[in-house]
Chain A
Amino acid sequence: MTEGIEVEHLEVGDDGPRPPRAAVGSHRIQEEMFGRVFDRNVINRIWAFVQPYNSQMVIAVVAVLIFTGSQLVIPLIIRYAIDNGMASGAGDYGVLGWSVMLFCLAILVNYAASYVQEVVVGKAAENVLFDIRRAMFAHLQRVSLGFMDKTEVGRLMSRLQGDVNSMQEFLETSVLSVGDIVLLIGIVVAMLWLDFRLGLLTLSVMPVLLFVRIIWLPRARVAFMAAHEANSVTNGALAEAIHGVRAVQGMDRQHVNFTLYDDKANANLRAHLRAAKFAQVMVPIVDSLTGVAMAVVIVVGGTMVLNADLEVGVMVAFLFYIQRFFDPIRSLTMQYSVMQRAMASGQRLIEVLDVNVDVEDAPNATVLGRDMDGSVELRDVTFGYNPGQPVLRKVDFKVEPGETVALVGPTGSGKSSVMALIHRFYDVQEGQVLVGGHDVRQLTQDSLGQQVAMVLQEPYLFTGTVFENIRYNKATASLEDVIKAAKAVGAHDFIAALDDGYETQLGERGGNLSLGQRQLISFARALVADAKILVLDEATANVDSNTELLIQKALIMLLEGRTGLVIAHRLATIRGADKIVVLQNGEIVETGSHSELMAGGGLYSKLYNLNYASFDDIPDEATIASPEART
């Protein structure tokens, strides 16, 4: 990846050099995924999604066959009408009448079959598409956060939408291409049947076509994939501009970004023009071959007619067939690129479906009931996000039922990571985490989630009303419960002052509220969850001390009989705790109640006495041990 950056550094556009340390669009590992046209694994997996619609598929294929049959029959009827109805000099109205009747029948069948086929296929394809999407979405609900941390939402979204859509295109066209293939075979058979020699002669242009295709294919494939890739790169850059627009404007990067985006859009344009060239170059080739075939029929067939070896109707039918013959070839050529795209997309879909679920319920996992004692314990836990880089080392502490424990320490010391482990967002590398006396790996994640409520450091709200956000998934919570929670965190007043009170619609990520207000709502959401254990990760960092005091008072009541884990930088938040765990650089340096720690005369008391207005106001000498802090 580093090479990628270097290359970008040196890029010089027509209008001057590009800044060395700038790019638009995320840093992504190039997706070198040249889909094979036929990937058995992909087909099998996708096929599993088609299975439920087997009966529809059978109907569709039958309809396609009937449709194709009627297409084939139409020239035959015309031939019959010409040869038997008019050509022989003595016209026969009876035969003509019959032919026209037959013709009407054929087109009625054609109409019905094409309607049935397209409706059934179209709807089934939509269904399959939605099913695949649901399966992916459901799977993403289970994959571990370690994966989600590394994967951009936009990337996943492009799979959930773009790739699923190209799968749909494929499914819709694949039934049609069954028709194309049948039509092709049918025409070949019909021509050979009508006149074997002339048929064979006409078909002799086929090897030429095959040869051209073999040369064309690999090059065209590269061009098609490049265009696809260029599209997703440009779209990624656009998405970034949309999400980060406030930062872009704040740092006045519009001009640089526009230039960089222009480069990408331009590359995209070129890639598409190139792909279009490749796609179109086949057209004159196929048309020329059609011309050759028709010329052959005219010269050879015409001579045969002149020699009375051939009926003129047969010749007309041949000419019809030749024109129809190249249509399926043309659409199969088109189909080819659709198929290739679909295989690449299918590959990406399957990748999502196959993402490893590291954190999974054990086979005989216990359900953590409401009656558990609410204790939390970390036993010699060692944990790191990347192997070999432990973030927590031998962390060992216990929170007794009903206790409130504070976790303090400088930034980056691993406090949030401890919280994540209690909720089993990640699995520990060594040691174990126990909640209610059970190892979290032996509990169902659902029941654990219901018993541990969290206020995350980063408040995240959903589009929807305030009420929906606070209630979230606690379907049993009434408006009163919601208001009670909002009052407890001091959010009720401002919510009531909003235009529609609790029914006010929130913008994306709660954007029409201030950050502190968002934090309060996310706090209220955790209270409504009514869990035995409450985990507060800097839940009041963006809130003033007055409001915090209110919350503290309310919490004393709310935490009755519950276990609390609190991370905070402010002294007031920590004061009430039964026990304080001091974390530094991933290790516990001290544990004890406020008075114990004070009496012990250790680091905490030193810090405390030096402290002016908040716990963390530590002069330099006190924090030399922290690598984060050394200067």
Chain B
Amino acid sequence: MAAAGRGRGLGVLVRITRMALRHPWQVGFAFVSAVIAAILQLMIPRLLGSAVDQTQTVLAAGARHQDATAALWATALALLGVSVCRGIFTMLQNYFGEAVGHHVGYQLRLACYDKIQRLSFSYHDTIHSGDLITVGMLDLEGVRMFFSTAVVRALLLSVLIGVGAYMLLSTDVTMGLAALSFVPFVAWRSSVTRLRLRATWLKLQERLSVLSRVMEENLGGIRVVRAFAAHAFELAKFQKASQNALGLAHDRVDIRVTNTSMMTFSFFAAMGLVLWIGGSKVIAGEMTVGGLASFLTFMMILQMPVRQLGLMVNAFARASTCGTRLFELLDKEVTIRDAANAKEIEISDGVLRFENVDFAYSRTVNRPALKNISFEACRGETVGIVGPPGSGKTTIAHLIPRFYDVSGGRITLDGQDLRHVTLVSLRRAVAVVQQDAFLFTTTIENNIAYGDPWAKEARIERASESAQLHNYVLDLPAGYTTVVGERGVTLSGGQRQRLSIARTLMLEPTVMIFDDSTAAIDSATEQRIRAEMRQYFASRVTIIVAHRLSSLMHANQILFVENGEIVERGSHDELLARGGRYKALHDLQLPPGEEISPLVPEAKR
């Protein structure tokens, strides 16, 4: 982690700064205002010093009273003017600084959202959603704050110290050096601390994300936790993660506070030095009291920025860690995307072909999920897929809309390799009812219309009717505007599946895939769904994955998949006649022994 160290951290900061510079007007305003505000601020000690001197000269030289009073008035008015202007420019500096940050934040938000939406399944398989949320929320915030809390502040501080240094040194070299003696120390501390904070921060983020994962999974799986009366176990898990993070959080406080208090101390020490040297000079008559006062006031003015220096270091460290993570996401290559010369898919006969398709998930490259899969289906045909758990049925289904790319062989739709057509047109041509369907926390209506948010009410109701959901919805007090709970918790298993069927029916695809999407629906209802959809099926290729043979026995072609390979294929009757695995499976789903007899003729039909 520490090796992620210096170079990369700086690169990230440069990149954030470049993003900020894309708003040249606001950045310009912020910078100019910051410089003006700093210079005005530096004038204050001068004016105060001269006010003090004006009173002193009178005492010393016995000049005319009125002159002195007039001079005082002039100084006072100048001071008032300077203060007002300083306030205005500080406001502008702060406002534009923040505005730049917010604009950068806005763009990063959009970039993040877009990236997350486009990154392929294989990326999302490897990353925990909680970690992504952290990147999109907290890390983005850290990057957003960078401009106002670090860049502008750094500029302000350099101007204050730089111009101040010039002014002081030109007034009195020794005193100036004394007043600025804290600067090298502070600079050294800052860079050391920035790196240490960055390292701690990276580790802390990691532990915090473990903690939030524990909490999130506990709440998401609360039914399991309850079912196993496991709250003590879960609390222990939480406690462990929590203590881990807490220890590091304490370390971070130590580092930060040690740093800030040391900086403040060095600053005060420099002030003591000024007092000593300046005092001696005043006594020796080499300097006026006013001159000393302006030196000291100057230091007073620096006190706040020096305290803020700690914050600035913090902001640098935070931005570089957060930025590293955020840009890692934004730079992630989208593996599934349009090829250079991709064309819209053209559908003519609607023929789907798998040609010797191989596939392995990126995490388990040595254990291919699919081997040498070939089959063909054209419009109006239905392909059934059966096989034991983990045999690769879902994998086949996910290759067709290109959720993953094949590792070998190819898949074509009307002769066009899926990798050579645009993703948008392909996804429009292929619809999947996913096995583990995600329902959105919104109304039933919005859920059904998810794929076609412009749909008219009548169409939504028709889809819902076809999926055998309409009557259930009508019985609800709020009807179609009922909000389903998170991931559909307030629905029964079968209702969830019917809702996800309904929303897929809203689409007009060429290839339609049902991935085990009727497992929780009783066969009577399922048959009715199928009857409703007969028309719909006639104009497209349908792929049905199911364990219940009644769901797919009418298919034109049935594939029996085992260990990623097609081991048997043919129509229901052919497969039964073959007496292989399909037949065995079929027999298991029949009533036992003597009761089979009346059904046999029908089965052999």
Q: Are A499 and B367 in contact (CB under 8 A)?
A: yes
**Contact between B293 and A122 (Cβ–Cβ < 8 Å)?**
no
A27 CA to B442 CA, complexed, in Å:
5
Q: Are B283 and A85 in contact (CB under 8 A)?
A: yes
Which residues does chain B contribute within 8 Å of A380, judged by CB atoms? none
Choose, from B103-111, B166-174, B316-324, B533-541, the stretch at the interface.
Answer: B103-111
Give chain B nearest CB distance to A119 CB in angstroms.
5
Q: Is B213 an interface residue (CB 8 A)?
A: yes
B258 on the interface (CB 8 Å rule)? Answer: yes
Query: B209 CB to closest chain A CB, in angstroms?
Result: 11
B445 close to chain A: CB less than 8 A: yes
Decide if B219 touches A134 in the complex (CB within 8 Å): no
- Whether, in the assembled complex, B585 has its beta carbon less than 8 Å from a beta carbon of chain A, the answer is yes
**Complex Cα–Cα for A273 and B520 (A):** 50
Contact of A612 among B72, B124, B550 (CB under 8 A): B550
| From A245, A327, A499, A623, contact of B116 by CB (8 A) | A245
Binds A, one of B1-9, B16-24, B156-164, B492-500: B492-500
**Given A145-B223, A240-B441, A450 contacting B275 (CB threshold 8 A):** no
Q: B494 contacts A141, CB within 8 Å?
A: no
Q: Is the CB of A276 within 8 A of B221?
A: no
A49 lies within 8 A of chain B by Cβ? no
Q: Is B516 an interface residue (CB 8 A)?
A: yes
**Binary interface profile of B, 81-124, with partner A (CB < 8 Å = 1, else 0)?**
11110111011001100110011011001101110111101001
Task: Decide if A294 touches B83 in the complex (CB within 8 Å).
Answer: yes
Number of residues in A with C-beta < 8 Å to the partner? 197
Task: Check A617 against B527 for contact (C-beta < 8 Å).
Answer: yes
Please report which residues of chain B, range 403-450, place their CB below 8 angstroms from some CB of chain A when the two chains form the complex.
403, 424, 427-428, 431-432, 434-443, 445-446, 449-450
B265 touches A111 (CB 8 A): yes
Q: Which residues of A contact B589 (CB under 8 A)?
A: 545, 570-572, 613-614
A148 within 8 A of B: yes
Contacts of B586 in A (CB 8 A): 613
> What is the CB-to-nearest-CB distance from B284 to chain A, in angstroms, rounded to a whole number?
7
Across the interface, A250 reaches (CB within 8 A) one of B98, B432, B481, namely: B432
Q: Which A residues are in CB contact (< 8 Å) with B584? A: 546
Other-chain residue from B118, B233, B441 in contact with A254 (beta carbon distance below 8 A):
B118
**B-binding segment of A215-223, A431-439, A454-462:** A454-462
Name the contact of B219 in the complex, choosing from A20, A140, A614 (C-beta under 8 A): A140
Q: Which residues B187-222 have CB closer than 8 A to chain A?
A: 212-213, 215-222
Whether A241 touches B524, Cβ cut-off 8 Å, given contacts A2-B481, A520-B389, is no
Alpha-carbon distance between A546 and B314 when the two chains are bound, in angstroms: 61
For residue A160, CB closer than 8 A to chain B, the reply is yes
Tell me, yes or no, whether B597 is within 8 Å of chain A by CB.
no
Whether B350 sits at the interface, judged by CB under 8 Å, is no
Query: Is B261 in contact with A514, judged by CB distance below 8 angstroms?
Result: no
Chain B nearest Cβ from A628, distance in angstroms: 6
Q: Do B494 and A411 touch across chains, with their CB atoms under 8 A apart?
A: yes
Query: Most A CB atoms within 10 A — which of B105, B109, B125, B401?
Result: B109
| Contact, CB under 8 Å: A425 / B226 | yes
Question: Is B375 close to A, CB under 8 A?
Answer: no
Q: Give the interface segment out of B127-135, B340-348, B351-359, B376-384.
A: B127-135
Interface: B571 (CB within 8 A): no
In the assembled complex, the CB of A145 is this many whole angstroms from the nearest CB of chain B, namely 7
Do the beta carbons of B434 and A269 come within 8 Å of each other? no
Residues of A within 8 Å of B304, CB to CB, are 327
Chain A residues, Cβ within 8 Å of B213: 463
- Taking A156-B219, A473-B234 as known contacts, 13 extra A-B pairs with beta carbons closer than 8 A to each other, sorted by chain A number, are A100-B279, A115-B258, A137-B218, A238-B112, A247-B439, A291-B81, A411-B493, A472-B228, A473-B228, A543-B388, A546-B588, A575-B592, A617-B524
Report 14 cross-chain contacts, Cβ distance below 8 Å, ordered by A residue: A82-B292, A91-B279, A118-B257, A149-B489, A152-B486, A160-B212, A257-B113, A284-B91, A319-B293, A454-B227, A458-B493, A509-B220, A542-B519, A613-B589
